[in-house]
Amino acid sequence: MSKIINRQEFADLLRDDLSIMVGGFLGVGTPESLIDAVIESGIKDITLICNDTGFPDKGVGKWITKKIVKKAITSHIGTNPESGNQLNSGETLFDLTPQGTLAEQIRAAGAGLGGILTPTGIGTIAAEGKEIIKIKEKEYILEEALSADMAFIKAVKADKKGNLVYIKAARNFNPIMAFAADIVVAEVDEIVEAGEIDPDNVVTPSVLVDYIVLGVK
């Protein structure tokens, strides 16, 4: 069965109350076509897992602006004033997590681990309500692994089997998210025949990718 689907077939996968990981770093390496398709679908109450909430008119920031996110687990909201407004009003829940911790929580889920131990946040509000474990007289926060129903990632190229190639810094969170979700959808700029991509250039192997959508340029 082909992994290549169109935007309508992608929309058919969506429903309210999904937890969704979205790759990208301030809009770089972000699957903009998939983000727009989610808005068009009319779903709501998304739990968003991402590095940042982008900008009001770019990246996952558009979901914040449209108020379809009920909770965002992220490391940074400063570039999107609407995120700050919704945080202050209590309209949307924001779980602000140190960037490295967030990445490792996602990586842990992909590796089948229960979580990670990190000293980051000890003695701050980041540690409130969390289990503290002492190892060799040093304290660590137990941060649970973080997975999602779906991951939307962005690659520059895919073959028809779903092997993915990224470009430079656009790789960012995309590869680790491909390990940590039940369904992985990759938006790509180009689709080529199987065997056309040099195996040494494949970062995300096809076994991790459920669907491929050609992005709108």
What are the φ/ψ torsions at residue 191 (nearest 5 degrees)?
Answer: -120, 130
| Other beta carbons less than 10 A from residue 101's beta carbon | 18
**Alpha carbons 117 and 70: distance in angstroms, whole number:** 28
Question: Beta strand pairing status for 164-165 and 148-159?
Answer: antiparallel
Strand order in the sheet with 138-144: 115-118, 138-144, 132-135
Torsion of CA 97, 187, 164, 156, to 10 degrees: -100
- Length of the chain (residues): 217
What are the φ/ψ torsions at residue 100 (nearest 5 degrees)?
Answer: -65, -40
Q: Give the pLDDT score at 217.
A: 64
Q: Domain 7-114+147-214: give its CATH code.
A: 3.40.1080.10
CA 28 to chain centre: 13
What is the chain's pLDDT, residue by residue, as a tens digit (217 residues)? 799 999 999 999 999 999 999 999 999 999 999 999 999 999 999 999 999 999 999 999 999 999 999 999 999 999 999 999 999 999 999 999 999 999 999 999 999 999 999 999 999 988 999 999 999 999 999 999 999 999 999 999 999 999 999 999 999 999 999 999 999 999 999 999 999 999 999 999 999 999 999 997 6
Element (H, E) at 174: helix 174-177
Place of tokens 């770093």: 25
Helix (H, G, I), strand (E, B) or coil at 118: strand
Q: Give the pLDDT score at 1.
A: 75
Q: 191, 215 in Cβ contact below 8 A? A: no
Q: Give the pLDDT score at 126.
A: 87
Q: 140, 156 in Cβ contact below 8 A? A: no
| Other beta carbons less than 10 A from residue 24's beta carbon | 26
Residue extents of the structural domains in the chain: 7-114+147-214
Q: Which two tokens stand for residue 73?
A: 């687990």
